[in-house]
Structure 1
Amino acid sequence: MLLFVSALVLVSCDTDDGPNIGYAVAEITDADLPDYFETGETYAFDVSYQLPNACHDFYTFQTNQYKSEDKDSTLVIEIGALTTYDPNLTECTEEGELNDSKKISGLKINSKLYNNYHFKLLTGGDEDNNAQYLNIEVPVGKPEPETPEEAN
């Protein structure tokens, strides 16, 4: 009886509950932002990314917003694309499209607080593990033409 109970305890303590989920960053390659924002409007735009490999699935965009330290009238918006994968897989044998895009929506423009939006789109890291970004500046309001030809 003691042997049977011991065997039952050992079998019931199996810790393999299925696949684990790991998270990684996908490289953002582009964003379909307008040339300028109009005050009071709400915007949606596509962000393009590249998955690390076909075993990764897009999970979500992670965003962080803060006022620029250099320019009080600039809002900085950092965007990173997160993926999920099974870290138990030692080799990825799946095939699939690595490039895709998803829409980010609900960006409300407030020119009373900011006259410029600085997007920092996470593209990955360098050899020292410092974050690397694709930087895109979008002003609020149609920019003044710099030359007479641009005014036409």
Structure 2
Amino acid sequence: MKRIALLMVLALSLYSCETDDDGPNLNFAIAEITGTDLPEYFEIGESYDLEVAYELPNACHKFSNFSVNQYIAEETDSTFVIEIAALTSYDANITDCTEEGELTDSRTITDLRITSEDYNNYQFKLLTGEDEDGEAEFLIIDVPVGEPGPTTPQENTNT
């Protein structure tokens, strides 16, 4: 009787450890950011919506969200840096992507508030991909705080 009970427990435990899982295997990747609609300058006390354009790796990828990292620049404490990456999700069980779909799209990052007078410049580092060494590559755009003054041509002092 003990042997039968032991065989039944063993059979049930082997049955419950079945590894055939046909469900989705969700993974994440990075989409190449191709541009944004940043203004010429920011005004203190204003709020901005930024449209960010990106290109998916292939049509099986779906936009997931933006990853945003913010910090003060090491070189100068008057520059505030905002790194933005576009994350996608895809099912790793699909080895041959035959889905049709648009690879370029854009999403809006809403309500970027410029509230501090501590920064003269906002630097946006938009992740475009990786180089052959696996190092991140960025599209870097600087946006000054406050309307830039009028530019005057340089005087020619070589006369």
TM-score normalised per structure 1: 0.90
Match of residue 132 from structure 1: 137
- 2:14 is paired with a residue whose SS is helix
Does structure 2 retain, via aligned residues, the 8 Å contact 1:78–1:122? Answer: yes
| RMSD, matched Cα | 1.6
> Does 1:14 pair with 2:14?
no
How far is the alpha carbon of 1:106 from its aligned partner? Answer: 1.9
Cα distance in 2 between the residues matched to 1:67 and 1:46: 23
How far residue 87 of structure 1 moved from its aligned partner, in angstroms, is 1.1
Match of 2:39 among 34, 37, 40: 34
- Partner SS state of residue 15, structure 2: helix
* Aligned partner of 2:78 among 57, 60, 73: 73
2:117 corresponds to 1:147: no
Deviation at 1:70, TM superposition (A): 1.1
Asked if residue 96 in structure 1 is aligned to residue 101 in structure 2, the reply is yes
The one-letter amino acid of 1:12's match is S
The CA distance in 2 between the partners of 1:6 and 1:67, in whole Å, is: 60
Q: CA deviation at 1:93?
A: 0.9
* Distance in 2 separating the partners of 1:134 and 1:122: 6
For 2:115, the equivalent position in structure 1 comes to: 110
- Would you say the 8 A contact 1:111–1:140 is kept in 2? no
Who is 1:43 aligned against? Answer: 48
Q: Supply the distance in 2 between the matched residues of 1:44 and 1:115 (Cα, whole angstroms).
A: 20
For structure 1, list consecutive stretches of 5 or more residues without a partner in the other structure: none
- TM-score by length of structure 2 reads 0.86
Identity of aligned residues (%): 62
Please report how far the alpha carbon of residue 71 of structure 1 lies from its aligned counterpart in structure 2 after TM superposition. 1.5
Once the two structures are TM-superposed, the CA of residue 78 in structure 1 deviates from its matched residue by 0.2
Matches of 1:118 and 1:86, distance apart in 2: 34
Mark the structure with the bigger radius of gyration. 2
**Aligned 1:49-68 pairs, distance under 5 A:** 49-68=54-73
Indicate whether 1:83 and 2:88 are aligned: yes
Amino acid at match of 1:50: E
